[in-house]
Structure 1
């Protein structure tokens, strides 16, 4: 038995396909919103560059800061590490309809790595 899924507005019901293109990362990098939620928690809000579904992913500050520090130049002071770019692996996780999607999966199959500064 499968769980019914609702289709988000502006969503393209493409067939599921594990795929990536350079433009996916470029589109998300240029058109995202990084929102402070509370305390050390942040959310990145974006639209899937393949199927158009609106999405948001939590970014927890300790891990986000550690990722920034890991990408900082060797010997950088904490202030420099905090401003380093972060490579963030992402994928579509919408609940819209995508024929041929494997059981237990979400999204349209698109994935990318975006660089946040």
Structure 2
């Protein structure tokens, strides 16, 4: 997947590609909280490269064992710059993907 320059601004598009999940798994930083009950993911959107941060909380998903091993839907929430054609009040470029939370806490 090509790297985008920071001043490139893709138009808003509701889109998902298998490569988004692979890229996010490689590039997102994971910060575990509450003994594995919540997780902060941070890194560049695989489509538009805007920096984003996503909070995942196990209790919302009624998972007493925590988040490890779960697959969670992620939506680009980058706020660095507007994307042409985005719906009013919407942030990010519209990209979505499924993120598999690794079993290890690294």
TM-score w.r.t. the length of structure 1 is 0.68
Question: Quick check: which has more Rg, 1 or 2?
Answer: 1
The alpha-carbon deviation at position 14 of structure 1 amounts to 0.8
Consecutive unaligned residues of structure 2, counting only runs of 5 or more, are: none
The size of the alignment, in residue pairs, is 96
Q: Which has the higher helix share?
A: 1
Which of residues 75, 87, 92 is equivalent to 1:91? 75
User: Once the two structures are superposed, what CA deviation does each residue of 1:27-86 show, in whole Å capped at 9, x if it has no partner?
Assistant: 0012211113567543111210010011111122434671xx6xxxxxxxxxxx558511
Q: Structure 1 residues 82 and 107 mapped into 2: Cα distance closer, same or farther (>3 Å)?
A: closer
Q: Structure 1 residues 86 and 21 mapped into 2: Cα distance closer, same or farther (>3 Å)?
A: same
> Do structure 1's residue 52 and structure 2's residue 58 form an aligned pair?
no
What is aligned with 1:33?
Answer: 29
Consecutive unaligned residues of structure 1, counting only runs of 5 or more, are: 1-8, 70-80
